[in-house]
Amino acid sequence: MSFSRATRGVLLALTGLVLLFIHVPLALVVLNSFNVSRTFEWPPPGYTTKWWSAAVDSAGARNAIVVSVEVALVATAIALVLGTMAALALQRFRFFGRDTVSLLIILPIALPGVVTGIALANAFLTMFGIELGMLTLVVSHATFCIVTVFNNAIARLRRLGGNLEEASMDLGAGTFRTFWSVTLPMMRSALLAGALLSFALSFDEIIVTTFTAGQGIQTLPIWIYQNLFRPNQAPVVNVVAAALIVLSIIPIWLSQKLAGTDESVAAAR
């Protein structure tokens, strides 16, 4: 498509505006982590790194990060196994009620977090009689993490078709060998992208977490939420937020790199 000069100018200006709108607040968070003022005065009266050293020393923040990473890793691992298996079953076999099952798997991501949280907490406490804790938290996160893995996996399987698997079986490989040597390598980049997204979803989840984590466990979003309005802690919270912004660039960059490997999928068609 080609645009006139004026149209192009307007589009460029709009794009710039949107980018500014999104990224200026983020830049402000990073800047404020060096702000001498405890109340984030604007313009900053001076700059310091004392909040960063305070954050590194904060046991609460460190503990919360460890918990969040653990929960996200375990939930993602569960999601990878179950999501891949569900996608394979739904894509490769036809059975009665297939579309309904597909819908039921995707549903948790559309449900409001409050509803999922209440429902899971009730089920854990009354039906199963399990104390809220690490286990219930991980299982709850896995319910929506499965969706991202499932969606990525089934989209890839659809694009691949069954041709390569037929070729593998034709050459003498059984079902398991075919999955290991052909299907899984072809799905690898899709699964990694799904896992990254699933990790990110779990890492910043707060609503379901408040209902299912119980008293003893504090994930990073909950720690931030509880400390944000304490005057002494606000600068430290800000530092943690700034650090997260910088760290988030890594998975985004990775998933962009992964998108490049899709060429091999296109070539398989």
Partner 1 sequence: MSTPAVELVGLTKSFGSVTAVDGLDLRIEDGEFFSMLGPSGSGKTTVLRMIAGFELPSAGRVLLAGEDVTGRPPFARDVNTVFQDYALFPHMDVLANVEYGLRVKRVPASQRRDRAMAALESVQLGQLARRRPTQLSGGQRQRVALARALVNRPRVLLLDEPLGALDLKLRRAMQLELKDLQREVGITFVFVTHDQEEALTMSDRIAVFSEGRIEQVASPAELYESPGTAFVAGFVGTSNLLSGDAAAAVLGRTGTFSIRPEKIHLDSDVESGNTTARGTVADVVYLGSVNHYLVDLDAGPTLTVLKQNLRDSTEQAMGRRGQQVTVGWADEHVIELSGDTQQVQQSHEKEKS
Residue ranges in contact with partner 1 by CB under 8 A:
163-164, 166-174, 177, 181-182, 185-186, 263-265, 267-269
Contact of 168 with 178, CB cutoff 8 Å: yes
Burial of 129 (0-12, 13-18, 19+ CB in 10 A): exposed
SS3 47: strand
How many Å apart are CA 179 and CA 267, to the nearest integer?
A: 19
Three-state DSSP state, 40: coil
Q: What is the rounded CA–CA span in Å between residue 97 and residue 94?
A: 9
Within 8 A by CB and 6+ apart from 69, the residues are 203
Here the tokens at position 14 are: 């709009």
Half-sphere exposure of 243 (CA within 13 A, CB side): 16
Instruction: Name beta bridge partners: 47.
Output: 35
Tokens encoding 95? 């059975």
Rounded Cα distance, 33 and 246, in Å: 12
Looking up tokens 């390569």, which residue turns up? 164
Residue of 46, 67, 45 lying closest to 222 (CA atoms): 67
CB of 229 to partner 1, least distance (A): 52
